[in-house]
Amino acid sequence: MPAAEAGTAGGDGAFELGGRKWGSRLIVGTGGFRSIDDMERALRASATEMVTVAMRRVDPQATNSVVDVIERLGLFVLPNTAGCYTARDAVRTAQLAREAFESEWIKLEVIGDDRTLLPDAVELVTAAEQLVADGFTVLPYTTDDPVLARRLEDVGCAAVMPLGSPIGSGAGIRNPYNLRIIVENAAVPVILDAGIGTASDAALAMELGCSGVLLASAVSRAEDPERMARAMRSAVEAGWAARHAGRIPERLHAEASSPEQGLAELG
């Protein structure tokens, strides 16, 4: 059994990302919850170890700090550059996050427009290159383009995080073939980021060979976020287990599982 499959809490198997070992393969975004209490319950139920946050102007009136909850739960903070349209803005936002958290981990998002929220490939690679040179552990949100994924890996990203479908769409994995190619090519972990709608989407991502899943809206905007978080945890674990259990080949025709010999003659 490969080391990556050694059992840990949840039976999910530890994996290495950015030079650290993680017990959970599920990364949860903190955006979109109806309340901070909903968020806390869902994060507990998900058994995640890493959560994303965004950087915004301080609101002096704000009371409930997301960071307090994250700290109380002992989770690792992964700041993002959500809302950035240029490499320049994304790099600066990453630098702000580094000062805020004394951490060099960044979920890099550079989007092209606010209707699709799709990544701007050119700006994304530029930003990734600069951040890697500046010592960051860069986890880039990217399209499901295998060539772009390779470029991101080539400039030194610690993972590639292709979308399944647009952010918040809940449309699942629209191009599983591309995802398979990305997984096949990558020497760094592939984390499905964006588009998850329900548990089967997360399981499929893992079955296709992803090392992890990053999701937010699917849990935070579900009617019952805590329950959906639990479902996602199970789905990621089940998908991972299935991927490594050696599934049967698909066949056009049936293949009986009961022996054909020894049938009683009852005519």
Among residues 108 and 208, whose Cβ is nearest to another protein?
108
Q: How far is the CB of 210 from another protein (least distance, A)?
A: 18
Contact call for residue 109 and another protein (CB under 8 A): yes
Q: Indicate which single residue of 52, 126, 137, 165 sits in contact with another protein (rule: CB under 8 A).
A: 52
What is the x/- site pattern for another protein, positions 230-249, by CB under 8 A? --------------------
* Nearest one of 66, 120, 133 to 89, comparing CA atoms: 120
Choice between 5 and 101, CB closer to another protein: 101
Q: How far is the CB of 204 from another protein (least distance, A)?
A: 22
The residue whose two tokens read 């994924």 is 149
Q: How many CB atoms lie within 10 A of CB 223?
A: 6
User: Cβ closer to another protein: 106 or 155?
Assistant: 106
What residues act catalytically?
Answer: 107
Report which secondary-structure segment, H or E, holds 214.
Answer: strand 212-215
Rule CB under 8 A: is residue 116 a binding residue for another protein? no
How far apart are CB 153 and another protein at their closest, in Å?
A: 22
Residue identified by tokens 């060539």 is: 147
158 binds another protein, rule: CB under 8 A: no
121 near another protein, rule: CB under 8 A: no
Please provide residue 213's backbone torsions phi and psi, each rounded to the nearest 5 degrees: -135, 135
Is 263 a residue that touches another protein (CB under 8 A)? no
Regarding 48 and contact with another protein (CB under 8 A), the answer is: no
Span from 15-23, 24-32, 112-120, 238-246 in contact with another protein (CB under 8 A): 24-32
In whole angstroms, the minimum distance from the beta carbon of 228 to another protein comes to 17
DSSP labels for 157-201?
-S-BEE-SSSTT-----S-HHHHHHHHHH-SS-BEEES---SHHH
Give 102's contacts (C-beta < 8 A, 6+ positions apart): none
34 near another protein (CB under 8 A): no
Secondary structure class of 136 (helix, strand, coil): coil
Q: Identify any residues that bridge with 161 across adjacent strands, giving them in sequence order.
A: 141
Whole-angstrom distance, CA of residue 173 vs CA of residue 158: 22
Q: Is 49 in the site for another protein (CB under 8 A)?
A: no
Cα separation, 200 vs 190, in Å, equals: 18
Give me the phi and psi of 191, to 5 degrees please: -120, 120
CB of 253 to another protein, least distance (A): 46
Using DSSP's 3-state secondary structure scheme, residue 215 falls into strand
Residues binding another protein: what is the number (CB under 8 A)? 37
- Smallest gap from Cβ 57 to another protein, in A, equals 4
Residues that bind another protein in the complex, under the rule CB under 8 A: 29-33, 36, 39, 52-58, 60-62, 65-67, 77-80, 82, 92, 95-102, 107, 109, 216
